[in-house]
Amino acid sequence: MRLESMSLFLESFHRFHPTPMRFLAQILLALLLTPVSVALAAPPGAEALHDSIDQHIKTAFAKWKVSAAETCTDAEFIRRVSLDLTGVVPDAKTTRAFLSDPSADKRVKLTDRLLNSAAYAEHMAISFDVFLMQRRPDKYVTTDEWRAYLQTSFAANKPLDKLVGEILVADGVDPTLRPAAKFFLDRAVDKDTLVRDIGRLLLGVDLQCAQCHDHPDIDQYLHRHYHGLSVFVAGSKTFRQPDGKTVLQEMVTREVEFASVFEPDKTKTTGPRLLEVLMTVPAVEPGEEYVEKPSRTVRAVPKFSLRELLATKLVSNQTPEFAHNMANRLWAKMLGRGLVHPLEMHHVGNPPSHPELLERLAKQLVETKYDVRAFLREIVLSKAYQRSSQTPAGVDPNTIPAESFAVANMKGLSPEQLFHSLLQVTGSEKMFIQQIEATLQEDEATYKELSADKEKLAKGRSDQRALRIKEFITLFGSPLGKAEGEFQASLPQVLFLANNPAVFGWVQPGSGNLTEQLAVLKDDSQVAENAFLAVLSRFPNDDEVKLFREHLALGKDNRQAAVTELVWSLIASAEFRLNH
């Protein structure tokens, strides 16, 4: 590992959260084991993916009679790619350096630096936590443990098929893979929840309606698909170990019976099936099914595990839906909309906007052994990703369909992106730590107790931080079970940004934060420049400098108050709230 990425890692480590030390060691180890400059080039002989992307997107413009927006500016690019790959806007210093860098390949270099940063792994861990757990409350595995596992996986660029395989097979007994069992355990191993979420999240098909009958509107979603998938998980149950830990056990199940509510007397059976593919399971002599027979005190372990079969087959080439779904989800993460939209509605009646491109993306994932880092890199390097969110003059932006990708689709900042970015742009990490300390000190006796124990104090602090992030999630996030909500604005959200004492505290001068630094600058245009670079990652235009000057002149009696208002107006702008 290079010194630079190491220090970058430590910096972001301090900036984001005091993850318990034990995870630090894990992450460092993973980083050390990862070649930092991964071979990111396209497979020899093939057209680079980013070229294919642009070919397919451009060809389809005729279909909507649209023409493409210009390439986004460097300022737009650094903000967008930083949010998409590391979950936070760039700091002013980085932005300034990037904007003044004359080299032609600076976007490529920036992309590679971000993809190899610790913040990338941390951001992907949050994204995949939300994607896979849908903001469910913790049950048996804590979010901290789970995110550390995901973070280690993304830092090591673990192939995505391997990651998903681990998540499906982990039984929670082996401590190193225990966090991976969260997918099953924290859904309380509830069969119907699991079937629905495996279908929606991993295969891109929402089979809920097929639980009781063939889907009424979608010919392709069949009753047998739902129940075929359920066979894999029907035998899995929780088991409480003597040490108090809840883990998974598996009873032998080979098939399930089901009957449509429309024909309740016509019972059918199915073995394990992944949509149309019925799996064959080796025959076992009766009485010989188990390695460990189930009993009250013994965790059942079958000789042939259907969950293991699921973990192997779901991510294999026998289930092309997996590659299509993952390609579509990663695309949507970067481009703000899936090629198949909604993401969990893959079926012939809802074809992709660019069918050949989806094929190409899925093929890329399979051929590169699910190399997520290389995949995201290719997307970022495409013209499609680097398009401006602004239409050319004279074109009504509302006439350009989102699915054409002719203009960049804007995304709302996720609650976590918003929280981290707000802290970063206001330069208020120090103040935030003081706020946390003050909250802890409100209860003198408890604080005294905490101070006596270093570990407890660290835990108290990280709990407070988590509470604050939770406040952002409650206000700005999509609810449980629907993690991919579209952008919305609400009254409580803006009241929070406008008036919440803690958040407004970050905007007010103090502890050397942005506002305090700006208020001591003598040159008004310097105030404007630094404020825009810090908050909006760009230089102000002449009108904006003028506006700043005028406002500062009006507020000359109380420069700090005038600067506070200016900084707040940038933070409260749509330009800050959106990833554009």
Residue numbers at the binding site for other proteins (CB under 8 A) = 192-193, 208, 341-342, 345, 350, 389-393, 395, 397-398, 400, 407, 410, 412, 474-482, 485-496, 498-501, 504-505, 508, 541, 543-544, 547, 551, 561, 564-566, 568-570, 572-575, 577-578, 580
Name residues whose C-beta falls within 8 Å of residue 257's C-beta, 6 or more positions apart in sequence. 267, 268, 269
Q: Quick one: 176 or 490, whose CB is closer to other proteins? A: 490
Alpha-carbon 571 to chain mean position:
23
Q: Quick one: 174 or 550, whose CB is closer to other proteins? A: 550
CB of 217 to other proteins, least distance (A): 8
Q: Quick one: 189 or 274, whose CB is closer to other proteins? A: 189
Q: Are 320 and 362 in contact (CB under 8 A)?
A: yes
CB of 260 to other proteins, least distance (A): 14
CB of 135 to other proteins, least distance (A): 9
Q: Are 407 and 391 in contact (CB under 8 A)?
A: yes
Angle, CA of 284, 193 and 178, to the nearest 5°: 70
User: Where do runs of H (alpha helix) occur along 223-345?
Assistant: 223-234, 306-314, 320-335
User: Where do runs of H (alpha helix) occur along 407-540?
Assistant: 415-426, 429-441, 444-451, 454-476, 491-499, 501-507, 514-519, 524-536
Q: Quick one: 174 or 192, whose CB is closer to other proteins? A: 192
Q: Quick one: 462 or 569, whose CB is closer to other proteins? A: 569
Q: Quick one: 63 or 470, whose CB is closer to other proteins? A: 470
**For the residues of 153-182, what is the DSSP string, one character each?**
HHHTT--HHHHHHHHHH--S-STTTGGGGH
Q: Quick one: 8 or 395, whose CB is closer to other proteins? A: 395
CB of 165 to other proteins, least distance (A): 28
What's the CA gap between 160 and 163, in Å, rounded? 5
CB of 564 to other proteins, least distance (A): 8
**For the residues of 56-94, what is the DSSP string, one character each?**
HHHHHHHHHT--PPPBPPHHHHHHHHHHHHHSSPPPHHH
In angstroms and rounded to an integer, the radius of gyration of the C-alpha atoms of the chain is 26
Tokens for 146? 């789970």
Question: Residue 291 phi/psi, 5° resolution?
Answer: -80, -45
Q: Quick one: 128 or 476, whose CB is closer to other proteins? A: 476
CB of 547 to other proteins, least distance (A): 6
What are the C-alpha distances in Å from 103 to residues 92, 107, 114?
19, 9, 17
Q: Quick one: 9 or 472, whose CB is closer to other proteins? A: 472
Q: At what angle do helices 429-441 and 454-476 cross, to 10 degrees?
A: 110
Tokens for 439? 């909250």
CB of 184 to other proteins, least distance (A): 17
CB of 424 to other proteins, least distance (A): 19
| Element (DSSP H or E) covering residue 105 | none
CB of 530 to other proteins, least distance (A): 16
CB of 359 to other proteins, least distance (A): 21
CB of 75 to other proteins, least distance (A): 12
Name residues whose C-beta falls within 8 Å of residue 52's C-beta, 6 or more positions apart in sequence. 357, 360
What's the CA gap between 349 and 358, in Å, rounded? 16
Q: At what angle do helices 454-476 and 415-426 cross, to 10 degrees?
A: 110
SS3 208: helix
Question: Residue 99 phi/psi, 5° resolution?
Answer: -65, -30
Q: Quick one: 1 or 547, whose CB is closer to other proteins? A: 547
What's the CA gap between 562 and 476, in Å, rounded? 28
What's the CA gap between 118 and 129, in Å, rounded? 17
- At 20, the amino acid letter reads P
- At 458, the amino acid letter reads A
Q: Quick one: 29 or 554, whose CB is closer to other proteins? A: 554
CB of 204 to other proteins, least distance (A): 13
Q: Quick one: 13 or 548, whose CB is closer to other proteins? A: 548
What's the CA gap between 13 and 382, in Å, rounded? 30
HEC string of 304-320 equals: CCHHHHHHHHHCCCCCH
CB of 59 to other proteins, least distance (A): 23
Q: Are 404 and 64 in contact (CB under 8 A)?
A: yes
Beta strands in 411-486 (DSSP E): 411-412
Q: Quick one: 28 or 407, whose CB is closer to other proteins? A: 407
CB of 177 to other proteins, least distance (A): 29
Q: Quick one: 91 or 575, whose CB is closer to other proteins? A: 575
